[in-house]
Structure 1
């Protein structure tokens, strides 16, 4: 039997964290290609360090997306995040672009030809998860870690808290009783600040109201342990303080450690890469299973081989909370949604330029957008799944 009373912790990082700066730039490149050519291929990696950005990878798309334009996109992403400091400034940092053509050997396994559906862009395993801990059907620790940082970013960008810098990290430890989240045991918040004279106590006075408004009423008590800027001053932030790379925050991007992860990053990849699209599909299916009240918790695994269109396996785990047979669901999921790369893209409309907005504050637990962004958060399969489950 699963434990019922325990503590569980998840962390998030802000859009100004060095790795998230790189995710943002890489996804801006993906969107630039897809906006002009919906079937473009992009595998873009970014490195950021003191006043330097390096963009590399493989693409196949329109010539209008030039190296100069990509460098411009990188600068605009950094500007929007808010970096105008001596060691990392959107206007004068050096941007090097080293994108080249996609390997023909990879392309031949992915492209559709001779009545053969296109294959997966790589081998791999992908997981999706949903649970009833929050209205968003997400694990509570990661959801509220994201909300804290997003709320602080909005306060910073609006001008209400101009002393805050773009770089920040949060960590929330939640107490579970009878398997349900009931309160916050401890909070960790480290945020860059532009006034070097501020103490940890000063920073807490600024951020505490925003943290409290991000959490459910009553979850913070006199027993909650606070650690705000526990190392002291945090003035040098972002890539000037720490090098960043695309794809290093995959647990932050997904479920905060509450569910398995297949290992593949999302950012910088077009949706033929199943690391991204199949992980979105797995979340979509898991969320619909829980929304249909077929389980309190659901984990779904999909697996693929490069150049092969259909998944090699579909695995469902309802963690002992299911109202139907897991084997029935495994078969039924293939009926309600085609799980080939093309089937996933068409069902979720993933060939749109919708990825830059996913690069911070989590890919899951977000509101679907009218243009197809976060389409994998819809719960439009509920009726079909209930019919399959009997």
Structure 2
């Protein structure tokens, strides 16, 4: 599977700072110190509907991570998956009387268009669950043969008790885990499981559903968590720098994936930091496909909204915060974009070197994009009220905003 084209990232003078970011597992800030190549895995979409603002906010957060690392003169090895076979996709395809493969391809193509328009830097490897199946099967077999997985009516389940570090990503108690498992794709009430929290690794073929040859596992398809584990281990190896996604992935997805990998490899942890973005709401509820309360990036673009304004609307909120999408949020971003573009269109302006360092410091401090935006606002206000004589300043501001915030002025 291919990703989307990369927008150019301007080079800035000087060098960025190492990133301090909130780690869900330790419940505090950690300073990331990757080697020359920073490694990040971000969980991708299940392509049964278009990209909504919740998706966009999540991928914007991890785009900022990449930009901070690039500014430190590191390379970035970014991997993202596409869950192109899963129950929600199959259910939507059946509802709309469309082939599930065609639906996945259509929505993945639209996602690529949205990411391109928003200037999100693409992953080096963009991998679909279906194409990962040949690498998933042997991992499930290894877990089964090691006694960390078991068969139940043809399905293969992972035993969470096989990992002594299970629970150290989300830090939830058993009751909270069981509740979230039921809400987020698990089956804690299924009779015969060793532990209600045990997740499925391999689902035996069901009538009328797609399936693949699983070797000794039989015909079937992979579970959700093992998909990401196989892709991450194949392309990044163990103990990579950041595992990312929305806050609703901390449990069960990232918790289970970490346990799968830790039992398979015999090392801890799977990732050095687990980083989670907040939820975006609409009309008082989390924006989600299941609720149908969605604002789509593609629809905003069709309505003529500048993608740079959409990106500024996302950047106006701290990535870990839960926030509400409103018409005013978008209007504020449109107005801000207009002010910024007018300010950098002038032939000269106030010195901008200090501004570049302010943006760098804000982003290095747990991706504090609102603080970075406020710093640019202050420079724009000085440009409007005082002016300046530095003929290079508007260009410096424009390049810094592009390189570090992903907004083209």
Is TM more than 0.5 here? no
Instruction: State the structure with bigger RCO (CA 8 A, min sep 6), 1 or 2.
Output: 1
More strand by share: 1
Larger relative helix fraction: 2
TM-score w.r.t. length of structure 2: 0.26
Q: TM-score, normalised by structure 1?
A: 0.27
